[in-house]
Amino acid sequence: MNLTAVKGMRDLLPADTIWFQRLEDAARSVFALYNFDELRTPIVEPAELFSRAVGEDTDIVGKEMYTFPDPPGDPDGTRLTLRPEATASTVRAYVEHRMWERPGLTRLYYMGPMFRRERPQKGRYRQFYQIGAEVLGGDGAWIDFELLAMLRMLLARCGIEGAELVLNSVGCALDRPVYHAALRAALADKLPQMCADCRRRAQTNPLRVLDCKVPADQPIIAALPTIHDFLEENCRNHFALLRQLLDAHDMHYRLDPRLVRGLDYYTSTAFEFLHGALGAQNALLGGGRYNGLAQSLGAPASAGGGIGFALGEDRFVLAMQAASAARQTPSKSPLMALLLPLSQAELGPALELAERLRRAGVRLDLAPPGRKLGKSLELAAKLGAAAAVIVGTDEAATREWQVKNLATGLQSKVADGELAAHLQALGN
């Protein structure tokens, strides 16, 4: 039997990880400017965390979670889940460690793998990678604005142009019941023609009907009342202020009253950034406000509200690659040298030299000992090394090294004390 990676999960090879590293480096440096600190939570959480935070009625919790009993095989064991997203874990950690007691807002970011058993396709995987950030402890519209401004900076640093910000308010605790009632009333005589999910959601959480993707249901959904007619005063003011701030800072967005997102914790602001280069899976990132989530996980009212986003690294990288097709592809720093021990006897001195040079900052690798010189030089050229250092009996004894400059083909003798600086000069 051929063993391969699990369906929907893939190996990220060095040609991929170099892009992921570039994105992660850009994100860390932008997050630092906005005073975010890193949080690392476990990849496994109690299943109940997601059913409570993300919502029983979502596709994620209903159909896509990898859940298993602990101990394995024990039907009465604790149900554990591979995290499908990290907002729930972040808020759990915020509550568990009483972080609201620290001074100021709590700004946290995370990076790592998430797991959803979705139908795999380009840009959609069962193990995918997110970078996310959450601001906890406040609910001002300026916080929402700053989060979106931070995303604008990150997109620019990654060279991604043409991402579209889509914005909505999904209402607050006070207006939701009124809006739900209006939706139920509007749906009452349409439900028999609608899909089974819509029929169920109309009872459990009518807002989720707006998230239906079944083409035949779309005309009915388009005619439903929008939440904007039901927003209570605070929620309406919050959204109006956010829009004013975005306008004042030249941040363009498209208002989409049907944008409800696939997770139930959202209140008021909800947003996505879409990108044309991504095909069907065109959401680069998504997020929104979730006031009340910390409280539903046991925090007091003083723990405040929250807002955050998560970007799909796999999709961000596709957009970065599309943007840089004409520009330079990132490449790793080239090797400064390949050491060539001419026989097994020179392996010891070569290893000793390699360690000394690396301590001095030289990026190098070793050729297998005792190979023909010509073959080792070919290897050095294929690896893109700037120089080859020949380690033979004489060199090991005298500590005067033969260095071949692989760009010019010239060979010279270099004294031991000058070797590191010489190789760095050739390799930089």
Give the binding site for ligand HAM (CB under 6 A).
Answer: 85, 87, 116, 118, 123-125, 128, 130, 132, 134, 262-263, 283-288, 308-312, 314-315
Question: Smallest distance from the beta carbon of 350 to ligand HAM, in angstroms?
Answer: 45
Q: Count Cβ atoms below 10 Å from residue 229 Cβ, excluding itself.
A: 11
Q: Measured from the CB of residue 90, what is the shortest distance to ligand HAM in angstroms?
A: 8
Shortest spacing between CB 332 and ligand HAM, in angstroms: 25
Burial class (CB in 10 A: 0-12, 13-18, 19+), 408: exposed
Is the distance from CB of 307 to CB of 342 less than 8 angstroms?
no
Q: Which is nearer to ligand HAM, 108 or 350 (CB)?
A: 108
Judged by CB, which is closer to ligand HAM: 163, or 342?
163
Report the nearest approach of ligand HAM to the CB of residue 238 (Å): 16
Q: Which is nearer to ligand HAM, 130 or 376 (CB)?
A: 130
The label of the residue with tokens 């363009």 reads 252
- Which CB, 284 or 366, lies closer to ligand HAM? 284
- Give the Cα separation of 189 and 178 in Å (integer): 19
How far is Cα 177 from Cα 232, in angstroms, rounded to an integer? 11
Name the minimum Å distance from CB 272 to ligand HAM: 6
Residue with smaller CB distance to ligand HAM, 134 or 395: 134
Task: CB nearer to ligand HAM: give 46 or 262.
Answer: 262
Closest distance of CB 271 from ligand HAM, Å = 9
Give the integer Cα–Cα distance in Å for 319 and 278: 7
DSSP labels, 337-393: EEEEESSGGGHHHHHHHHHHHHHTT--EEEPPTT--HHHHHHHHHHTT-SEEEEE-H
Looking only at the bridges linking them, the beta strands covering 364-366 and 337-341 are: parallel
